[in-house]
Structure 1
Amino acid sequence: MDGLLINTEDLYTVAHNSMLAEHGKGPMPWSVKITLMGLPGTESAKRFLAWSGLPYTPEEYYAETTRRLEELFPTAEFLPGARELLTYLDLHGVPIALATSSHAHTFRLKTGHLHDAGFAFFKKHIVTGDDKRVAPGRGKPHPDIWYVALESLNKEMLENHEETEPIKIEECLVFEDGVPGVTAGIAAGATVVWVPDERAIDAMGNDKAEELISGHGEILKSLKDLDLSKYGL
């Protein structure tokens, strides 16, 4: 979701940099940013504090950045191609689920004003970072969140008595922008469509990026560049 469907990764950067500036540091480089993207909040805070040396516990830092972000999240907007993709998939009856490291409270802040514009298409198939179906400590880069999302889709088909075989993870496309999510999607056994920020690739290096995705999917500059015909859609 963050950095793939909506521009909230930019809002996270604003919050981190404001904290750094108050201590005479910053801004946060992309070499650090890419290690935080897609991680659960407290895990992201731990990594950020290990780099920055700011005088907070992970819990304190997470709480303070969350407070600042709560004012920013309602301004979130769809990224190019995101709303069009969701609309297309819904129109053609393609089952979709959302698996995000964001907790339920922040998810609502980020998407409430965008619900009717696209997030309504996910219906009840939304797995957040604090979802009890995902064991503690098993968020991205572990694959568990993707399995839970797929289970939700298959459960609905069973309840509706649809005459079809359950969807297999190998038949799924996982859309991601961050390395932890890409790693999780590959570990799950899905095909990954990776849409990273170009600054992330610059920081990571093209060779490392290609090595990570090699044989498991593709890298796109934007969701607008997605060729769904490659996947029979």
Structure 2
Amino acid sequence: MSSTKIGKMTEFKNVTHCIFDMDGLLLNTESLYTRATQEICDPYGKTYTWQLKQTLMGMSTYEVANKITKELGLPLSAEEYQELAAEKYKVLFPGSQLMPGAEKLVKHLKQKGVPIAVATSSSIESYNLKTQNHKEFFALFHHIVNGSSDPEVTGGKPDPSIFLVCASRFPDKPSPHMCLVFEDAPNGVTAAKKAGMQVVVVPDPHVSKDLTEGATLCLSSLEDFKPELFGLPPYDE
């Protein structure tokens, strides 16, 4: 039974371009981030709670490290935390898997000629680790914006710059209102709205519902997305 939440049909406006977040939306890496973070916290007797995690999702690499060390009182600098985390990511990230419905939707949009791109807060190094076994899939996107490495991205989500930069790199430079963002995190929803874009959110079941209420559409899985709601080509019968 789908937990799709939609409003009136008039709330959805037609779009021409789609922008995808990556972690927790296309790849199951959010669970890997949680595992790595807890392993760093264990020697200090600290617990990485869901309440803290949901405030970090979508932030840049440095912003995450800085907030975790301060919030949990870890005797580490943000730079030291990043070094420890990077070592754990080298082991965990290559095992990342595509989320349900991701491959079907992305391949469908590509086949139908809909311009698609990725806007991820991950650095280039982190992105390469996560996608090394999914190169054909990520080659379907016109371009990838790596927020933590891109000099044009002036702040992590909820700052809207990553989505505005991503939209500007399509050849036809669409207006923000013609772009549909796919996200899993509250910070990403806020960033997309600030950018003037509609946003479909597929949140982790643990995310507080009030944090995703601002989304244009809330789904339990990408498998539930109906492209025609936003004027995109429907799936072939």
TM-score normalized with structure 2 length: 0.85
1:188 aligns with 2:195: yes
Tell me what 2:38 maps to. Answer: 17
Tell me what 1:30 maps to. Answer: 50
Taking the aligned partners of 1:231 and 1:218, their CA distance within structure 2 comes to 11
Higher helix share: 1
Point out where structure 1 has 5 or more consecutive residues left out of the alignment: 158-165
- What is the DSSP-based 3-state SS (H/G/I as helix, E as strand, rest coil) of the residue aligned with 1:39? coil
1:128 aligns with 2:146: yes
Taking the aligned partners of 1:133 and 1:232, their CA distance within structure 2 comes to 30
Taking the aligned partners of 1:4 and 1:207, their CA distance within structure 2 comes to 19
The ranges of structure 1 where at least 4 consecutive aligned residues each deviate by more than 3 angstroms after the TM superposition are none
Tell me what 1:226 maps to. Answer: 225
Taking the aligned partners of 1:142 and 1:101, their CA distance within structure 2 comes to 11
For the Cα contact (< 8 Å) 2:201–2:218, is it kept in 1?
Answer: yes
How do residues 38-57 of structure 1 correspond to structure 2 at under 5 angstroms?
38-57=58-77
- What is the DSSP-based 3-state SS (H/G/I as helix, E as strand, rest coil) of the residue aligned with 2:69? helix
1:204-226 CA distances to partner (integer Å, 9 max, x unpaired)? 2x34432x33xxx1111111111
Aligned positions, number: 210
The alpha carbon displacement at 1:97 in A equals 1.0
Code of the aligned partner of 1:126? I
Tell me what 2:102 maps to. Answer: 82
Code of the aligned partner of 1:219? C
For the Cα contact (< 8 Å) 2:186–2:211, is it kept in 1?
Answer: no
1:153-197 CA distances to partner (integer Å, 9 max, x unpaired)? 1xx34xxxxxxxx52110110111111111110000000001110
Taking the aligned partners of 2:90 and 2:105, their CA distance within structure 1 comes to 27
Taking the aligned partners of 1:73 and 1:65, their CA distance within structure 2 comes to 11
Taking the aligned partners of 1:73 and 1:186, their CA distance within structure 2 comes to 29
- What is the DSSP-based 3-state SS (H/G/I as helix, E as strand, rest coil) of the residue aligned with 2:217? strand
How do residues 171-210 of structure 1 correspond to structure 2 at under 5 angstroms?
171-200=178-207, 204=208, 206-210=209-213
Tell me what 1:163 maps to. Answer: none
For the Cα contact (< 8 Å) 2:189–2:212, is it kept in 1?
Answer: no
The alpha carbon displacement at 1:78 in A equals 0.2
Which one of the candidate residues 152, 162, 168 is aligned to 2:175? 168
1:13-35 CA distances to partner (integer Å, 9 max, x unpaired)? 00011112122222x22111101
Query: Which structure carries more relative contact order (alpha carbon 8 Å, separation 6+)?
Result: 2
Deviates more, 1:45-54 or 1:172-181: 45-54
Identity %: 42
Taking the aligned partners of 2:37 and 2:126, their CA distance within structure 1 comes to 16
Point out where structure 2 has 5 or more consecutive residues left out of the alignment: 1-21, 233-237
